[in-house]
Amino acid sequence: MARDAITEKAFTTADDAMQGLWGLQTYIRAAVLVADKNQVGQRLPKKAFNLTHEWKRYYDPKQLIVEMGKVGEHVVCRMCLVNLVAVFEAAIKQFHQRLEKRERQESTRDPHYKTLLKWTFKIVRENPVISPAARARLPETCGDVDNARRLRNLIVHNNARYHKFYKTDAIDDKWVMIRHEPNSEDAIEHATALLLSPERLEHFSRSHIELLHILHNTIQSKFFNHPAGFNYLEEGKAIEWHRILSG
């Protein structure tokens, strides 16, 4: 039986978008490392810029360059993490809606992302189409994805500063491995800012993409009787940047 096209479309859209985020962050990091700060300063707006269509906002370009040199990498990683989580959330919401429609069941309400993650973890836990290594890693992989959800909430709802909800809102079903950032206990106590490194962002990217593939392959197998999944390593498939980045 052929793969379900609607489910596959949601999967490929999310898969491409997350790979695009990796490309964006990697490119920006490389560009910043080779950039001439004087040249950058010459290309910034002089003293003021339009904050809205009517209002101008005054600023110091030199100060922007200095502060970006201190935390710019972390800011870019936070922005990419927010987008990574949003893309994954949209994908599993579409998977969920597709299966509801297939079963001819109407959803009484739009589930929150945390509820959708619990549903996702249950699907992949029961009968995953997966390699032995990925199976052993799966509770941790799911924990990474839930950790990213809570970090996204810190960024969006608390100006990227740690808060006690980062710890208390974790999904705890006795199977998922609850994951926290190093030193987060102290960070919560002092409400310090999240400093997200490119290496940490890449780890989250790997976990989201891996879980997306596992979930998609499991759904196609369990609900649509199609056992074959995607494996880029076996296929030797290179990233088609012209397609991913152009939309």
User: pLDDT by residue (tens digit) across 202-231?
Assistant: 999 999 999 999 999 999 998 898 876 666
Domain extent for 130: 5-246
The per-residue pLDDT for 3 is: 85
Give the DSSP letter of residue 175: S
The per-residue pLDDT for 227 is: 72
| pLDDT, average across residues 119-130 | 85
| pLDDT, average across residues 103-113 | 69
> What residues are paired with 50 via a beta bridge?
56
Q: Please write down the HEC assignment for all residues of 73-129.
A: HHHHHHHHHHHHHHHHHHHHHHHHHHHHHHCCCCCCCCCCHHHHHHHHHHHHHHCCC
The percent of residues in the chain predicted with pLDDT above 70, rounded, is: 91
The percent of residues in the chain predicted with pLDDT above 90, rounded, is: 78
Nearest to 46, CA basis, from 33, 58, 55, 36: 58
Total tally of structural domains belonging to the chain: 1
User: pLDDT by residue (tens digit) across 189-205?
Assistant: 999 999 999 999 999 99
Largest CA-CA distance found in the chain, in angstroms, rounded: 62
Would you say the pTM of this structure is higher than 0.85?
yes
3-state secondary structure of 174: coil
Distances (CA, A) of 194 to 1, 115, 182, 214, 224: 47, 25, 11, 29, 41
| pLDDT, average across residues 11-20 | 94
